[in-house]
């Protein structure tokens, strides 16, 4: 019963915090067969495949970096580093089906390393971060925009590991399995981080 309750809470997630008009919409990311084919080409050293990788994943990597608190220029620099690492270490990717999670794992490592080298106060203010969940164009009222802004501020204040879990699962829309792979933790650990993060967010951004 407790496990079912926890699962329901995680499924509900940020639903009460995100205005309905800004709720995540399914994104037409590449299919699993496409990922497998792309990973195979990358392992062969296909330069055109490297360009395709950047084209398909640049936006997701950039928005991930922005959501993790990096400013525009630094996000661009860190994304370049992500793709460079992916290119040089593609041999480590044994299963092409895991390409997306593997890229987010690299992105998480790059982001974490950057913050280890810089003071937390160097992080950008959340109002400067582009929304990764549906954008703000669909928000129908000033109140919804304000609530959406408070949500991003609250996410930005979360400890790095909790923020990573929220960004991966709720903003980048990875499954629990994919997000756990990207965070290099067990699925149970990721669910625990999500539960702790959501509890904190609900206190800081109460439902109105």
Backbone angles phi, psi at 8, to 5 degrees: -65, -40
Give domain status of residue 85, yes or no: yes
In this structure, is residue 20 part of a structural domain?
no
Helix (H, G, I), strand (E, B) or coil at 122: helix
pLDDT tens per residue, the chain (208 residues)? 444 444 444 544 555 444 444 444 444 455 566 888 888 898 888 999 999 999 999 999 999 999 898 999 999 999 999 999 998 998 888 777 788 889 999 999 999 999 888 865 545 444 444 544 444 444 455 556 666 677 778 888 899 999 999 999 988 889 999 999 999 999 999 999 999 999 998 888 766 5
Answer yes or no: is 16 within a domain: no
Residue 138 lies in a domain: yes
In this predicted structure, what is the pLDDT of residue 4? Answer: 47
Contact assessment for residue 29 and residue 100, using Cβ atoms and an 8 Å cutoff: yes
Task: Judge whether 191 and 200 are in contact, CB under 8 Å.
Answer: no
Tell me which residue of 183, 81, 208 sits closest to 197, measured CA to CA.
Answer: 183
The size of the chain, in residues, is: 208
- Confirm whether 166 is domain-assigned: yes
Report if residue 6 sits inside a domain: no
HSE-up of residue 75 (Cα within 13 Å, Cβ side): 20
Burial label, 18 (beta-carbon count in 10 A; 0-12, 13-18, 19+): buried
- Tally of domains in the chain: 1
Give domain status of residue 17, yes or no.
no
Range(s) of the domain holding residue 192 = 30-204
CATH of the domain at 188: 1.10.1740.10
**Is residue 9 situated within a structural domain?**
no
């Amino acid at each position: 019963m407790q496990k079912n309750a926890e699962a329901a809470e995680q499924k509900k997630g940020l639903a009460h915090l995100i205005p309905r008009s800004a709720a995540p919409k399914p994104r037409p990311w590449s299919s699993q067969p496409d990922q497998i084919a792309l990973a195979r080409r990358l392992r062969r050293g296909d330069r055109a495949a490297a360009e395709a990788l950047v084209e398909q994943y640049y936006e997701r990597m950039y928005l991930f970096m922005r959501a993790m608190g990096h400013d525009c220029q630094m996000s661009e620099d860190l994304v370049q580093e992500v793709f460079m690492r992916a290119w040089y270490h593609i041999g480590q990717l044994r299963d092409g089906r895991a390409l997306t999670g593997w890229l987010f794992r690299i992105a998480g490592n790059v982001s974490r390393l950057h913050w280890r080298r810089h003071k937390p106060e160097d992080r950008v203010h959340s109002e400067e971060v582009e929304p990764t969940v549906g954008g703000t164009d669909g928000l129908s009222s000033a109140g919804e925009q304000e609530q959406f802004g408070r949500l991003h501020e609250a996410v930005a204040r979360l400890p790095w590991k909790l923020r990573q879990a929220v960004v991966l699962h709720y903003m980048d829309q990875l499954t629990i399995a994919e997000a756990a792979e990207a965070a290099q933790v067990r699925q149970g650990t990721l669910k625990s981080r999500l539960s702790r993060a959501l509890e904190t967010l609900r206190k800081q951004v109460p439902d109105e």
